[in-house]
Structure 1
Amino acid sequence: MAQAAARTTMVFDDDDDGREPFAAYLADDASQTAAQAVATQRGWSTSSIRKGGLAAALRLLGVAPPARFVIIDIEGLPIEEVEAGLIELARLGSQVLALGSINDVNYFRRIMRTGARDYLVKPVDADVLGEVLVRLEQPGDGVKPLGRVVGMIGARGGVGVTTIAINTAWMMAERLSRRTALVDMDIYAGNIALALDIEPTRGLREAFDDPERVDQVFLQNAMAKFGKSMHVLATEEAFDDAVRMTDEKVLMLADTMRANFDMSILDIPRHFVMREPLLFSRCDDIVIVTELTLQSLRDGNRLARLLLTRNRQAKIHLVANRIGPKPDITAKEFETGIEAKLRCAFPLDPKAMARASLKGQPLAGSEPKHRMIVDLHRLCIELAGVPEEVKTSFFKRRIGRK
């Protein structure tokens, strides 16, 4: 058994792109409901959630490779049968989460020696499954993975960057179970603390004054927690109080955020493009927020081209926001002028924004079915690095229904 476990690989095979992202083989209704909620949050099909357990998962191995992440109910099975089945799934590259009813440390150890990534005692809910899936997406060799950093910046002032940053961070934390940092890089006139009705702190100021102090303990004391797992770093310094920022200091802050959070959403003022340009080199994704105006077309074009030279590895997403009933130019004309596709286009809805503001809540929390939130959720899935669902053949779909 030990030799079999030693041969287990925790990386996916070369055909990983052809795998389904997720599958679940569950016996009870509560576990199925939780798995369906997680799949829906991540934009995955719920058709891969099936009745059954380990035997059902193993029967499908001859038809198609197992999914990247597999949740399996092992309740009531002999431990020897469980070990053999889980070893096979892990050997084929699946990240396996086992569910059962036995709460015993020796049983847990035997499950983990098969190459399974975790074992949970039922009942489980959507929050627990979502958090475990985040861990399953991380390396299984004991190396602490680094998070992702997303920079958000406006092509012009007043385009609603802060609104998009707040709702993105909230959905990362609440819907995608990411431990998320939301950082307002404008230490003088940032609006994140005001929008969320939380007290600003001096944490960001202190981070720039003494960057060597910034570690996990510092962040715990300096950041305000909002909701389940969103942590906010926002400062309101006096306009006549000069705060000295350098590339070195902002890079240290970005690296500390990456090391301590699954996702870091940075609301970045435009002057950082020239004053602290190296910050953009730390971003995995950059979201440029624009309006459908000639001015935004001009400035968005200039900004996108400049940021491409600052970070050729980052993916740049163009988002049109606050679109009125009769914009200056159409979305198609904007895309033609900037020679790129708009990732999202959000209509102007001041009433909905006002209602959310009065509640001190993101729009995603107060009106989760709002059109803006539905579209932004798809962008969040991409920014979080959630594997996309692959299209399966007609034959595989027929097999999957059996």
Structure 2
Amino acid sequence: MNNLAYDTTLESSDAAQDIAAMQALRPVPRISVQAFCETEGIANPIERAGEDRRMSKAHLKVHMGGLATAIEFYQTAPTPNLIILESRSEPKELLAGLRQLSEYCDPSTKVVVIGHYNDVGLYRELIRTGISEYVVAPISMADIVSVISSIFVDPEAEPIGRSIAFIGAKGGVGSSTIAHNVAWAMSNLFASEVVVADLDLAFGTANINFDQDPAQGIADAVFSPERIDEVYLDRLLAQCAERLSLLAAPSTLDRVYDFDIDAFAQIIDTAQRSAPLLVLDVPHVWTGWTKNTLMKADEIVITVTPELANLRNAKNLVDMLKKIRPNDVPPKLIVNQAGVPKRPEISIADFAEPLGVTPMAVIPFEPLLFGNASNNGRMLGEMDAKNPVVASINDIAHVLTGRSEIKARKKAAFGDLLGKLKLKKK
């Protein structure tokens, strides 16, 4: 495990290293973690780790005071699933302190020691005595999450699939259409199993776009959470193509769809265990479950059209997502329906500047291609495989699966467009 030096004024290069290291880590299960630190240089990255989405199920608390404080604390308190201890003590003193701590620890409690001695003999002795891991300071946030994940995530379990959430900055921008076509492209281009989950239970269009009318779908799972497992979920999937399956929305209004914040969490977790790629078609609403779904997704794609309201909404989304996902890459941006005749549009450069996000694709206004595909329940690639729009969809699929990168674009002067977005005070 690489120990990346931590600096309280974290440079952008270090932040980029942290983000890159975090991408390969799997979510930590519901465990309790308590850390006892002697220095701010160790306490800070542990606290930051606790705020990461991969630790969202875990409960982490940081105490200052080190090993002596931990011994005193657990004389009257139960021990958690994991104790993280920072110690600047010499090896003999550290081992003696750990033996004293073991008198108050439950047998199932794991212990990770962060020390300041790079001593192989000490490491071997600590592992021999039952310590789960010994890490030499300085450490990074990624180191902490990596250590916890290595202890509590079963290495024999199948890898969790990658979740990609698509959401429109405004209704009618084509986010669902893009999501469905990108999912279809992924399954065809890379011979990979893909599951599409339509989370718009009232007005979802995935069943129309894929020409499906399944008797069951995602609503059955949402309203019967006690039944959700991989076998049950498999029964709800509609087969759209050889390697593409759909959790369809009922698209009916015979009931209201008010959900708790974690309503879709178990469905998503289960779906990720059944396929390497999960595409989430998220409706343009802002609720607790929408925010929670976006916060936990591995990748987020925002679809916009080049208009002022879209820019405002996209800016709000990007800012919010950066705040709740500080250790992840920014959301991806797709500009759709560009070049509508006689419609005043914001230039791509001016649109991208305030967001700080380079569009990974600009899709032109092609009503004939999109209309024919929609009316026939077919994907764009099935209607006209040689169309430039299909090439853009394929490029998006390559970027989202890590097979290529977004090409850099030159930044242009933005002017005072942001001023138009500021709401007047009442």
Residue 353 of structure 1 aligns to which amino acid in structure 2?
F
From 385, 392, 398, the equivalent of 2:402 is: 385
In structure 1, C-alpha distance between the alignment counterparts of 2:358 and 2:330, rounded to whole Å: 13
Greater Rg over alpha carbons, structure: 2
In structure 1, C-alpha distance between the alignment counterparts of 2:280 and 2:360, rounded to whole Å: 19
Where does residue 161 of structure 1 map in the other structure?
175
CA contact (8 A) 1:284 1:314 kept: no
Q: Superposed, which structure 2 residues align to 1:297-308 within 5 Å?
A: 297-308=311-322
Where does residue 302 of structure 2 map in the other structure?
288
CA contact (8 A) 2:163 2:272 kept: yes
From 236, 244, 262, the equivalent of 1:230 is: 244
- Does residue 355 (structure 1) correspond to residue 372 (structure 2)? The answer is yes
Where does residue 321 of structure 1 map in the other structure?
336
In structure 2, C-alpha distance between the alignment counterparts of 1:262 and 1:343, rounded to whole Å: 22
From 334, 342, 345, the equivalent of 2:362 is: 345
| Deviation of the 1:231 alpha carbon | 0.3
| Deviation of the 1:290 alpha carbon | 0.4
In structure 1, C-alpha distance between the alignment counterparts of 2:185 and 2:256, rounded to whole Å: 34
Where does residue 144 of structure 1 map in the other structure?
158
- Does residue 176 (structure 1) correspond to residue 190 (structure 2)? The answer is yes
User: Judging changes above 3 Å, is the alpha-carbon distance between structure 1 residues 213 and 285 closer, same or farther for their aligned structure 2 residues?
Assistant: same
TM-score (norm 1): 0.58
User: Judging changes above 3 Å, is the alpha-carbon distance between structure 1 residues 373 and 315 closer, same or farther for their aligned structure 2 residues?
Assistant: farther
Report the number of matched residues: 250
| Deviation of the 1:315 alpha carbon | 4.0
Where does residue 199 of structure 1 map in the other structure?
213
In structure 2, C-alpha distance between the alignment counterparts of 1:318 and 1:273, rounded to whole Å: 21
User: Judging changes above 3 Å, is the alpha-carbon distance between structure 1 residues 208 and 143 closer, same or farther for their aligned structure 2 residues?
Assistant: closer
Aligned to 1:306, the other structure's residue is in SS state helix
Q: Deviations over 1:230-263 (max 9, x none)?
A: 0011122532413442222211111111111111
Residue 320 of structure 1 aligns to which amino acid in structure 2?
V
**Alpha-carbon RMSD:** 2.2
In structure 1, C-alpha distance between the alignment counterparts of 2:312 and 2:293, rounded to whole Å: 23
User: Judging changes above 3 Å, is the alpha-carbon distance between structure 1 residues 142 and 385 closer, same or farther for their aligned structure 2 residues?
Assistant: farther
Q: Deviations over 1:261-292 (max 9, x none)?
A: 11110110122454542112221110000000
Q: Deviations over 1:343-395 (max 9, x none)?
A: 1110010101122224321102222222122122122112123377xxxxxxx
- Does residue 249 (structure 1) correspond to residue 263 (structure 2)? The answer is yes
Aligned to 1:190, the other structure's residue is in SS state coil
Q: Superposed, which structure 2 residues align to 1:1-400 within 5 Å?
A: 143-312=157-326, 313-323=328-338, 324-325=340-341, 327-386=344-403
Aligned to 1:342, the other structure's residue is in SS state coil
In structure 2, C-alpha distance between the alignment counterparts of 1:254 and 1:309, rounded to whole Å: 22
| Deviation of the 1:329 alpha carbon | 1.2
Structure 1: segments with no counterpart, 5+ residues: 1-16, 18-140, 389-402
In structure 2, C-alpha distance between the alignment counterparts of 1:248 and 1:237, rounded to whole Å: 21
Q: Deviations over 1:157-182 (max 9, x none)?
A: 00001110110110111111111011
| Deviation of the 1:314 alpha carbon | 4.8
CA contact (8 A) 2:262 2:289 kept: no
In structure 1, C-alpha distance between the alignment counterparts of 2:161 and 2:403, rounded to whole Å: 13
User: Judging changes above 3 Å, is the alpha-carbon distance between structure 1 residues 337 and 371 closer, same or farther for their aligned structure 2 residues?
Assistant: same
In structure 2, C-alpha distance between the alignment counterparts of 1:149 and 1:315, rounded to whole Å: 15
CA contact (8 A) 1:166 1:192 kept: yes
Runs of at least 4 residues of structure 1 off by over 6 A?
A: none
Residue 333 of structure 1 aligns to which amino acid in structure 2?
D
CA contact (8 A) 2:217 2:250 kept: no
Q: Deviations over 1:194-223 (max 9, x none)?
A: 122210443211211122322222122111
TM-score (norm 2): 0.55
| Deviation of the 1:300 alpha carbon | 0.7
CA contact (8 A) 1:290 1:318 kept: yes
| Deviation of the 1:296 alpha carbon | 0.7
Aligned to 1:354, the other structure's residue is in SS state helix
User: Judging changes above 3 Å, is the alpha-carbon distance between structure 1 residues 363 and 284 closer, same or farther for their aligned structure 2 residues?
Assistant: same
| Deviation of the 1:142 alpha carbon | 5.0
Q: Deviations over 1:4-30 (max 9, x none)?
A: xxxxxxxxxxxxx9xxxxxxxxxxxxx
Residue 239 of structure 2 aligns to which amino acid in structure 1?
K
Q: Relative to structure 2, which stretch is displaced further, 236-245 or 180-189? A: 236-245
Percent identity between matched residues is 26
CA contact (8 A) 2:264 2:289 kept: no
CA contact (8 A) 1:207 1:214 kept: yes
